[in-house]
Homo-oligomer: A and B are copies of this chain.
Amino acid sequence: MAPRAAARKTGRNSESSDKVGVICRALRRAIIEQALEPGARLPEDSLGERFGVSRTIARHALGQLAAEGLVELRRNRIAVVATPSWQEARDAFDIRIELERLVVRQLAGKLTKAQVADLNAHVDAEDRSRDGSDAVSIRLATEFHILLASMTNSPILLRYVSEVAYRCCLTLSLYSRPHSSECGITEHRAIIAALVQGDEARVMGLMHSHLDSVATRALVAPTPRRGRDLLDILAPYAEEDGSERVVKMAKVARGRA
């Protein structure tokens, strides 16, 4: 009733109930903070119950997350948090390096005062988080890069950088030593400075070496060494019945033998 009168409210309303989005964001965050480890089971019912929605919605959210590579969906089986292979982790970092070079190239010398302030505030938050849990500082480090990407005003670039950064973040929980993280903060500050200064080549170099160092520091072992990895190694063998599979970007790469 009074549809016309309510129409004004509708605008605000349209944002409010994005249930799928809420679940996606929550899960993404839980995954990158390692509250959900790779391999963790994500049954639709439990998800639905936890978030107060039906399986339909939970399922849809899992679909989105699977499209982003954070979740693995196997037919008739419980969805699990993705467990990227070491090779996939390397590939993700390679892609990320190129994408973020693009980001800083577009941004060099073009940041507004407000944006610089935002960036500095974020790095300050990173600094403060060094006392807290590792998980939070890893998340903040990742979000620094996403914040940067959001400043390009390129929705596409933002989306790809976000995705690949989350994936890289996920791999850290698999292949990195317990340590890490705090080291990147000074590099973040250097990147901001170089961006303000506006030297394209220099800032691209900085970003490149920053990510490269994170990658090589993080991805320590050519073969994963963690509790679950026997299962990981066996997975590709146990999976198939012999028939070839279309390039579904599923498991093609595993074979590094």
Question: A residues engaging B (CB < 8 A)?
Answer: 8, 11-12, 14-15, 18, 20, 56, 59-60, 63-64, 67-69, 75-76, 87-88, 91-92, 94-95, 98-99, 101-102, 150, 153-160, 164, 167, 240-243, 245-253
Q: In the complex the two chains form, what is the Cα distance from A244 to B67 in whole Å? A: 27
**A99, A155, A159 — most chain B CB neighbours (10 Å):** A155
Q: In the complex the two chains form, what is the Cα distance from A94 to B252 in whole Å? A: 27
From the candidates B88, B99, B102, name the one contacting A155 in the complex (CB within 8 A). Answer: B88
A/B interface sample: 14 pairs, CB < 8 A: A12-B241, A60-B60, A69-B159, A88-B154, A88-B155, A88-B156, A92-B156, A94-B102, A94-B157, A95-B102, A95-B156, A153-B253, A154-B253, A160-B160
- A91 and B241 in contact (CB under 8 A), knowing A63-B64, A98-B98, A98-B99? no
Q: In the complex the two chains form, what is the Cα distance from A210 to B217 in whole Å? A: 36
Residue of B with least CB distance to A146: B247
- A14 and B75 in contact (CB under 8 A), knowing A98-B98, A99-B95? yes
Q: Is the CB of A248 within 8 A of B91?
A: no
Residue of B with least CB distance to A65: B67
Tell me how far the C-beta of A38 lies from the nearest C-beta in chain B, rounded to whole angstroms.
Answer: 16
Q: In the complex the two chains form, what is the Cα distance from A157 to B96 in whole Å? A: 10
Q: In the complex the two chains form, what is the Cα distance from A60 to B11 in whole Å? A: 25
Q: In the complex the two chains form, what is the Cα distance from A253 to B158 in whole Å? A: 11
Q: Is the CB of A155 within 8 A of B95?
A: no
Q: With a CB–CB cut-off of 8 A, which chain B residues contact A249?
A: 155-156, 158-159
Tell me how far the C-beta of A200 lies from the nearest C-beta in chain B, rounded to whole angstroms.
Answer: 14
Q: Is the CB of A69 within 8 A of B253?
A: no
Residue of B with least CB distance to A13: B75
From the candidates B15, B87, B102, B150, name the one contacting A245 in the complex (CB within 8 A). Answer: B15
